[in-house]
């Protein structure tokens, strides 16, 4: 964390706002969903922030998540629970993607995934607001991030995950101090258990978008992109979409940056990428509706985007439509092929969800939704090292004759 932060810092939060009705809620008070049952959005006095914060001065700060502190909700710096949230690099993949294709490699963050962005902010605010016990459902990486940050500040955590969650994720969650339970159901069914316990007063519900601050952590992806592209946004963003917090957060970030006068009105086309075995947002987009129905029999190798129903569905769909983008589905074969091709041709090991964005980009290029000259950013949401890889069993007997030239 940037060592220049003082014990108390200036923040410009004014209130929270229901994303559906616009109803206002007090800041500095613990909230879940709004009375309408929808996510709350943090609002800021951006006019005052713009007067206090100089864009050029900001670019000279240390390039970590906390460089954006005036645009984040934490009041007391002493409450920040950091594990070293760096700015993640943009990695070209010219052989598997194209000359203008860059991967935002979120696997470099603490706990190896972009879930660190949302959970560091959510846990920090939980600490600031006096929460002592948290529960959440997870497909893997979010639970790992929650366990790490909550353990670091002494908050007790209980995590529920589908019973086919990748083994490394389950063990990681347990190793970092959470009580983790495998459930014979999907993530929304795990979420129902969390909601039941929250209703009984056993814990605070940290399900995706059911507290206001994960969006604020995830929006730093959009803030970083603006700075990395010298305040001109890319032409297209391909984002692996389950709960969609990051896509919603980036769209919010772009709006705030425009209000600050740091960027213009131009926006990237936002592509919400799902797996064909679990594509509720794609179906809702194609049907022209604002809310997605639950996807039955959800299945995909990309567990992180296997979310049958998202509470922020209408926010995802609004961002995609307003940007002129699309919601796209790719099948598991295309996902695994993209992971393989990127690793072999460009040396970057994507997670399955990252592979989905590359597969979707290639489909979009073939369909004319983007052009080869468009600057496109694909999100690799976690290190590929967390996921099963093909076997590599070739062996040599050192005591036998070996034709080295044949190798």
**Does residue 2 surpass a pLDDT of 50?**
no
**Does residue 333 surpass a pLDDT of 90?**
yes
Residue with tokens 């919603």: 248
Could you tell me which residues come within 8 angstroms of residue 290 by beta carbon, excluding any fewer than 6 positions away? 284, 313, 314, 317, 318
Q: Is 237 exposed, middle or buried (CB count within 10 Å of its CB: 0-12, 13-18, 19+)?
A: buried
Collapsed DSSP state (helix, strand, coil) of residue 137: strand
- Parse the chain into domains and list their residue ranges: 13-79, 90-110+213-386, 115-205
So what's the pLDDT on residue 3? 43
Task: Label residue 7 by pLDDT band (50, 70, 90).
Answer: very low
Residues of the chain with pLDDT > 90, as a percent, come to 95
Angle, CA of 87, 89 and 95, to the nearest 5°: 165
Residue range 90-110+213-386, CATH number = 3.40.50.1100
Average pLDDT, stretch 136-164? 96
- Assess contact for 71 and 223: CB atoms under 8 A: yes
CA distance 89 to 250: 17
Please indicate whether the domains covering 90-110+213-386 and 115-205 agree at the CATH topology level. Answer: yes
- Assess contact for 354 and 101: CB atoms under 8 A: no
Backbone angles phi, psi at 118, to 5 degrees: -70, -40
- Residue-wise pLDDT for 312-325, tens only, equals 999 999 999 999 99
Q: CA-CA distances (angstroms) from residue 389 to 167, 297, 299, 305? A: 13, 25, 19, 19
> Which CATH entry fits the domain spanning 115-205: 3.40.50.1100, 2.70.98.10, 1.10.8.60, 3.90.1200.10?
3.40.50.1100
Q: Token pair of 301, please?
A: 């190798």
- Assess contact for 47 and 54: CB atoms under 8 A: no
360 C-beta neighbours (distance < 10 Å), count: 27
Q: Which of 310, 309, 318 is nearest to 288 (CA)?
A: 318
CA distance 29 to 377: 36
Q: Which of 289, 307, 290 is nearest to 298 (CA)?
A: 307
Task: Label residue 11 by pLDDT band (50, 70, 90).
Answer: confident
- Residue 188's H or E segment, with its range, is helix 187-199
**Does residue 5 surpass a pLDDT of 60?**
no
Task: Label residue 298 by pLDDT band (50, 70, 90).
Answer: very high
- Residue 313's H or E segment, with its range, is helix 313-323
So what's the pLDDT on residue 8? 53
């Amino acid at each position: 964390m940037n060592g220049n932060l003082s014990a108390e810092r200036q923040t410009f939060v004014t209130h929270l706002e229901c994303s559906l009705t616009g109803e206002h809620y007090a800041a500095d008070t613990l909230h879940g969903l709004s009375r309408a049952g929808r996510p709350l959005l943090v609002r800021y006095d951006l006019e005052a922030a713009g007067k206090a914060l100089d864009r050029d001065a900001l670019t000279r700060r240390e390039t970590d998540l906390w460089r954006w502190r005036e645009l984040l909700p934490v009041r007391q710096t002493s409450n920040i629970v950091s594990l070293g949230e760096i700015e993640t690099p943009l990695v070209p993949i010219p052989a598997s993607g194209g000359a203008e294709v860059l991967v935002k490699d979120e696997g470099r963050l603490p706990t190896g995934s972009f879930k660190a962005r949302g959970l560091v902010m959510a846990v920090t605010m939980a600490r600031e607001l006096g929460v002592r016990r948290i529960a959440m459902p997870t497909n893997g990486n979010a639970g790992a991030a929650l366990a790490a940050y909550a353990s670091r500040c002494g908050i007790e955590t209980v995590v529920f995950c589908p019973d086919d969650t990748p083994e490394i994720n389950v063990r990681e969650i347990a190793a970092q101090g959470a009580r983790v339970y495998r459930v014979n159901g999907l993530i929304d069914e795990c979420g129902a258990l969390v909601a039941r316990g929250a209703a009984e007063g056993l814990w605070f519900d940290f399900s995706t978008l059911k507290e206001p601050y994960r969006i604020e952590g995830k929006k730093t992806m959009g803030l970083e992109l603006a700075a990395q592209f010298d305040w001109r946004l890319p032409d297209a963003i391909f984002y692996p979409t389950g709960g969609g917090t990051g896509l919603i957060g980036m769209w919010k970030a772009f709006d705030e940056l425009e209000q600050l006068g740091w960027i213009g009105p131009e926006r990237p086309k936002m592509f919400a990428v799902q797996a064909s075995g679990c594509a509720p947002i794609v179906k809702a987009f194609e049907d022209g509706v604002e809310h997605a129905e639950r996807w039955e029999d959800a299945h995909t190798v990309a567990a992180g985007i296997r979310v049958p129903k998202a509470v922020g569905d209408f926010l995802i769909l609004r961002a995609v439509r307003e940007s002129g983008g699309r919601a796209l589905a790719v099948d598991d074969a295309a996902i695994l092929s993209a992971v393989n091709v990127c690793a072999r041709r460009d040396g970057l090991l994507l997670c399955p969800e990252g592979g989905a964005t590359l597969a979707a980009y290639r489909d979009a290029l073939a369909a004319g939704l983007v052009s080869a000259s468009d600057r496109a950013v694909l999100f690799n949401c976690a290190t590929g090292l967390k996921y099963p890889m093909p076997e590599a069993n070739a062996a040599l007997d050192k005591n036998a004759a070996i034709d080295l030239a044949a190798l």
